[in-house]
Amino acid sequence: MTVLHEIADVKRSPEEVYDYVSDFTTTVEWDTTAIAARKLTPGAVAVGTKFEVECALPVGSITLLYTVKTLKINTLIVLSGSCRFFDIEDTISFSEVPGGTRIDYRAEFFFKPLMSTLAGLAKQGLESMGRDSVAGLARALKDNFPVETPTSTDKVADKLVLPALSLFSRLGYKLGRKRFHPMTASIKSKHMVITGASSGLGYATAQELARRGADLTLVVRDRVKAEKTVSDLQAETGNCNIHYELADLSLMADVDSLVERMKKRGRPIDVLVNNAGALFNPRSETNEGLEQSFALLLLSPYRLTEGLKPLLLMASSPRVINVVSGGMYSQALNVEQLLAPDTPAYSGSEAYARQKRALMVLTQQWAADWEGEGIVVNAMHPGWADTPGVRSALPQFRKLTRHVLRSSEEGADTIVWLAVATEAGSVSGKLFLDRAEHTTHLLSKTRGSGQETKKLMSFLASNKYAIDVAQRASVSAQT
């Protein structure tokens, strides 16, 4: 038997340290040998929960299957693991010390018969691995990481356009992942609102935030989908603090009704994720008479965010996350084109891109206007992700790119980072891809003017037609 024993003190509470370490999927963020980790057992982490961890070797890799043997809340975690070379038992205890928590890590390796002769040779390497891993855990829990700014390679790619577009692929995510920092900030019981949460990016975001302990309000259009989404998420994560609100966000009457319901409850909102979206081909109008892409992609997040602002201000460090699209890089802000006319030249893709460009401009304006009020507003784009929306609206694009598309989880990763990471709360008004700040323009022709931004804000604030329709619908419902 080979024994490793390391101790580290961190300036975090035992509860925060326990919550982070007990979900062993976090090992990839602090264990120097871990390449990938996933939870195999649905539900909350408990005795019997299984994890699979892939670890690097000098040549190749091994896969360890871990099972939780003992859990004492905020105090002790014991896991037993096995692979083809050895069995292992990890005992991790947490005790309160002045100013923080002491982590006591002990690992016992039991080499299998044919490998026992290598135990002595491996001891020095294992001891080094143990020191590095516990030091990595302490570094992760220190949670003092910078916001990644564009590298010189990113800047060159942005100027050349095509290399920048290649970063939207799965390869771009894999390259970006190499510079990801751990996310150890606790979001337990923080209230987060996610629109368009029943599938794709929204569902992937909800799943990860629920796993980390957030209280979620999911905005979904269909009751059956909403109930299934909540049930699935609760079963998968063990988090029961997940609820839904029904609203068709392309209808301003529904948006305003949702705002009023949430304001009446009065619960502060820590994070608002404006994710709901769709690409409409051919052109269509809502039953309120608005072009659907404009209503859902721009006017809806504008009215929802403005309406929920009082609840955001009630939170200690509120954040708004707007999901945009790489398609916006093809368009400049032109307020006159936001309400696209019904002509043979109408393009759903162009209409979608115009609304996303306007949402990016709106993000920057909100960040500037609300800086003194403490609301952080940022935008992200997910790259090219293989979501149900892409499959239904852009079948030809998916056919051509299916081998390089990201998963929904990879596309949603930056939304989660913007909602969770401590460093993400230190910047506002930026665009992020793969947790790094990126340019908002690839082409000089898409750069707008301050005058057009003022025109946009005035247009959204004084869209009397939509307001009148919503008010009439509200009055009609009450009578």
Radius of gyration of the chain (CA): 24
> What is the structure's pLDDT at 263?
98
> What is the structure's pLDDT at 159?
67
> What is the structure's pLDDT at 361?
97
Cα atoms in the Cβ-side hemisphere of radius 13 Å centred on 162: 0
Give the tokens for residue 250: 């392309």
> What is the structure's pLDDT at 475?
43
Give the tokens for residue 17: 């340290």
The catalytic residue among 173, 302, 352, 465 is: 352
> What is the structure's pLDDT at 118?
61
Residue 329 annotated as catalytic: no
Residue in 437, 427, 411, 477 with CA at minimum distance from that of residue 196:
411
Contact (Cβ atoms closer than 8 angstroms) between residue 291 and residue 352: no
- Would you give the distance in Å from CA 409 to the centre of its chain? 8
> What is the structure's pLDDT at 116?
61
Contact (Cβ atoms closer than 8 angstroms) between residue 346 and residue 292: no
Residue in 247, 183, 237 with CA at minimum distance from that of residue 214:
237
Contact (Cβ atoms closer than 8 angstroms) between residue 188 and residue 73: no
Residue 54: φ, ψ to 5°: -95, 125
Rounded Cα gap, residues 98 and 348, in angstroms: 60
Residue 156: φ, ψ to 5°: -65, -45
> What is the structure's pLDDT at 476?
46
Query: Which residues have CB under 8 Å from 463's CB, separation 6+?
Result: 299
> What is the structure's pLDDT at 391?
79
Q: Which helix (DSSP H) or strand (DSSP E) does residue 320 occupy?
A: strand 319-323
Rounded Cα gap, residues 411 and 323, in angstroms: 11
Contact (Cβ atoms closer than 8 angstroms) between residue 274 and residue 322: yes
Query: Which residue type does 112 have?
Result: K
**Which residue shows structure tokens 């700014």?**
149
Q: Show pLDDT as tens, one digit a residue, over the chain (479 residues).
A: 788 999 999 999 999 999 999 999 999 999 989 999 999 999 999 999 999 999 988 778 999 999 999 999 999 999 999 998 889 999 999 999 999 999 999 999 988 876 666 655 566 667 788 889 999 999 999 999 999 887 776 666 666 666 677 788 999 999 999 999 999 999 999 999 999 999 999 999 999 999 999 999 999 999 999 999 999 999 999 999 999 999 999 999 999 999 999 999 999 999 999 999 999 988 999 999 999 999 999 999 999 999 999 999 999 999 999 999 988 999 999 999 999 888 888 999 999 999 999 999 999 999 999 999 999 999 999 998 888 887 777 777 787 787 889 999 999 999 999 999 999 999 999 999 999 999 898 888 898 888 999 999 999 998 655 555 545 455 445 44
> What is the structure's pLDDT at 479?
41
